[in-house]
Chains A and B, each alone.
Chain A
Amino acid sequence: MIIDRSHRSWAVASAAILIVALAAYVPYAVGSPRVGGGTTLGLAYGIVGFGFMAFVTLLSLRKKFPIWRIGRTQTWMRGHLWLGALSLPLILLHAGFLFGHGLASVLMWLFAVVYASGICGAWLQHTMPRRILRDVPMETIYEQIGHVRAQLVDEADRLVADASGRLEVAVPPAASGATVLATVMRVDADVTAPLREFYVHEMRPFVQAPSRSHPLANETSAAGRFEKLRPLLPVSLHAAVADLESICEEERQLMRQARMHGVLHAWLLVHVPLSFALMALAIAHIIGALRY
């Protein structure tokens, strides 16, 4: 979610809550002989902080039931961002800015990791969609990348076969069933050898199983390869070479999309499980604190 002007009310409310919390804390910290979760104010900070944490965690459950009419999911998301941001200062106020020992210490470190991953995620969600939009104009549905890749291989195979294949072929028009005779480029087979050589040994392995270390994975080096190939071929094949070059470009974009998609979503693998672990430990901490 992009954090923009539409978040103003949430930002103002969060800032107000933080200011009130800090305003209450200063005389308390100065005047009280003991600060921490055991005091009344400390307990209050803890309760509010935990409440925020609980609400923030519920976003995952909210997403599991998208059609429940319990508030728009984007409202939950805004709450997740701002109340989540507030929860750490409140918990720090609750703990008197001490990480403590044992379970409390684990909790604090875990909270720090979850918080950091959350900030990282918010930043990624703020910036990465724009980068995908800019850098991957041929973006497809992520789950369809494998399918699109297979189509690109087919298309490239066909292009090379057409450019260096038979002279005249019967082409059935799409779905008509009636035959039409189409004349394909007349090119001597040996003239097309450099094209086939390049395709079979360099391009096809890249399109089939792309790797970042492949020379065609780099835009500049790929352009160089195609520039070297062109003079070896008759002008009539240059259009086919241009098509192959654009297939390579699309393949690079698919690689880029897969990488960016991974980055955009990988942080959740840290953030979500640790959040649930944090909640579990926090509940254990509450039970322990209430009991002892």
Chain B
Amino acid sequence: MSDQITLTIDGRDVTVPRGTTIFDAARMNGIAIPTLCHQQNQTPVGVCRVCVVDVGARVYAAACIRECDPGMKVKTGTEPVVRARNTLVELLMADHPSPCARQQASGDCELEAMAKASGVSEARYARRLSPRGRDDSSLSIAVDHEACILCDRCIRGCDEVKKNHVIGRSGRGYSAHIGFDLDLPMGSSTCVSCGECMVSCPTGALTNKRVIDAQLPGETLDPEWILQLPVFKGVSGTFLELNKSSLVKRRIAAGEVICREGEFGSTAFYILEGSVDVFIGTPIAHVKQEDASAGWLSRIRSRLADRQEHTRTEESGRRFIPIDAPVDLPYDKPLAELGAGELFGEMTCMSFHPRSATVRAKTEVVVLEMLRNVLDILQKNKTFRAELDRKYRQRALETHLRSVPVFSSMPADFVDYLRDRVELSRYSPGEVIVRQGEAADAFYLVRLGFVKVSERHPGGEVVLTYLGRGSYFGEMGLLGGGVRTATCTALDHVDVVKIAGEDFQLMVSRFPDIRAGLEKVARERAEQNRQRLASTEHVPIDAFLNQGLMEAQSLLLLDLEKCTRCDQCVRACADAHDGVTRLVREGLRFDKYLVASIRRRNSMEIIIEDWCIGCGLCVRNCPYGNLNLHPFEIKVPDPEKPNRMIATTRKKATGCDLCMEHAEPSCVYACPHDAAHRVEPLAFFGTMSAVKDGKRTGSTEATSK
């Protein structure tokens, strides 16, 4: 049998190898057949049917999948074929949001171009009734399911071209759509943001998230050059081309400041050459309250005090300061060095936290400065993650473990043992790390970001605590019944060090002091949780949960039926704190009460640590208006004249301190109308609720209690 066959396409005799599709045969002979679902580098699937041709059979054939037969007579552009093709385009356009994102951005949506060429201006068919929605969870790729024509080009790009096998089909009929992994949001899936799907997509269903007006200072890089760097191995060149302005190279002279603590930024830095110093320039101290004078005229004065001089009962015994870099800073001397191959500024870039430390070039430094879409891709890049993880295991794991008081005594040999056994995991905002009721199989140390610990109850979810870098969780399940007692959820981008259950058991069996320390903490946490929950039995828990009052230990309540809005409480607070009020007469409402201020303790205590840099983020985000910035005058070296000090103002965050120096808070003491009260919330609202219930049922028992 001959390997060559001859057929006729649009009246022309063409000879092609056996097994060639009609689409390829036509293309090889200069005859264009329109298509949407087919690309030359992908296996044809024939799902869009736009490439239909007349082969003389009962039905039209899809040219991309139909192989040529000897003597076949193919007609690609007859009036009935074109009409059928136009009907298909019209049907696809009926569901297509025109202009789609791609058409708006670059005007090259293949479907819309085809519709225009076919003269399909307005679809005669009704749109689908159920919307398929959007998925903006990925930082680099926008998914608009409305614009998806289910051509499967992205699926084949992911499977066949990049071999990532992340995208597939999900749903049936009208609800059919592309899905990532087990139909997860793209940002939560195992997608590595290589960009192949986006490049393959013929419409605006998968588009690049460009950063608006991003023009970073520095040298814009050629994607070819970037791909030479080992850490960018495997990243899509097309993606780098599309995001050229999101990644620059900067050369920084020795002594120059790269980023300053407290500043808001949106970039991360990767050191290519040289080394940098990381330090905190703000005084390592906290705001201390003290009496300025004794007796009835007594006034509280605020001043800065360091830990050696004044230790607060509620603060932890931490010896390291967590920052947005792979190292922690020693409390006594907050200075560290980073070198080539290290990344800093991750949290600022991903979660828009203010810079947690100042970074200054120690030698001449070459850095790559990148925006979050590039950082996201890097973080998902296996080569880069492996390199970062290797450095972390080598350099930072031991410091991290030692910064946790309960592990400070761990022998070096066991740290070495753990070094290659721990798992470094990353979680997206909202992702559940461990779930209440599941089997406890690992212990976690928070490396980056914040974790919410909560318990499920019939009334709703009760938040038990929030854990930041240097905190840990999972010990209660491992030391107790082997079941998770609470759910831990990532609040932002969270990195954790996961110690497997068997390693944890080995550790606690070998080191009784670590076991004792962990058991003590577990007991304390369990007791706090028990007390908190026991006292909510008679309280309208749903209302409490809704308003977030569960975590409070002392509330300033303003009885709005008595309050004449004279602001005497605010004035008193300002008078008591150097003219800086810590009380704003606005906040949550509960019945007739306005919650003007909250004080927390124990695990929910808001402690302003000594290394507060006064960025003001907590002040802006506190839902209770309970945190304020307190300005202080300090002396700093004069940048223009060495050996000379100049005065400048620095701020530190402060919260309500209940005027601890006095028997009663100044706001309550100064209220002339008996409207301001400091209460323990559960007891107060519990009584109130009981009184109301008593009234409702006609019982006098509750009121008499």
**Interface residue ranges, A against B (CB under 8 Å):** 1-2, 6, 59, 63, 65-70, 72-74, 76-77, 125, 128-130, 132-133, 140-142, 144, 168, 170, 172-173, 175-181, 183, 261, 264-265
Contacts and interface: CB of A to CB of B under 8 A. Distances in A.
Interface stretch (B106-114, B269-277, B438-446, B555-563): B555-563
A142 B674 contact: no
A172 B212 contact: yes
Given A1-B673, A140-B586, A177-B371, A261 B212 contact: no
Secondary structure class of chain B's binding surface, majority of residues = loop
Interface in B51-106: 97, 99, 101, 104-105
Contacts, number: 118
Contacts of B560: 129, 132-133
A142 to B, nearest CB: 6
B637 interface: no
B352 interface: yes
Q: How large is the interface on B (under 10, 10 to 19, 20 to 34, 35 or more residues)?
A: 35 or more
Contact of A129 (B562, B584, B662): B562
Interface residues of A, dominant DSSP: mixed
B564 A129 contact: yes
Nearest to B351: A175
Contact of B586 (A59, A125, A141, A179): A141
6 A-B pairs with least C-beta separation: A66-B670, A66-B572, A77-B672, A69-B296, A1-B673, A73-B672
B432 interface: no
B372 A1 contact: no
Interface string B560-600: 11111110100110011000000011100000100000000
B142 A177 contact: no
A140 B565 CA distance: 10
A40 to B, nearest CB: 37
Nearest to A73: B672
B672 A74 contact: yes
Contacts of A180: 136, 142, 209
B561 A2 contact: yes
Contacts of B101: 181
Interface in B639-695: 662, 664, 666, 669-675
B572 A67 contact: yes
B311 interface: no
A69 B673 contact: no
Given A67-B669, A178-B139, A178-B211, A2 B562 contact: yes
B670 A67 contact: yes
Nearest to B97: A183
A264 B673 CA distance: 14
Contacts of A129: 560-565, 675
25 contacts: A1-B562, A2-B674, A66-B568, A66-B571, A67-B298, A67-B300, A69-B296, A70-B296, A125-B673, A128-B564, A129-B564, A129-B675, A132-B565, A133-B560, A175-B352, A177-B372, A178-B372, A179-B212, A180-B136, A180-B142, A180-B209, A181-B105, A181-B144, A181-B207, A265-B566
B1 interface: no
Contacts of B229: none
Contact of A73 (B136, B212, B562, B671): B671
Interface string B8-35: 0000000000000000000000000000
A177 B674 contact: no
A67 B564 contact: no
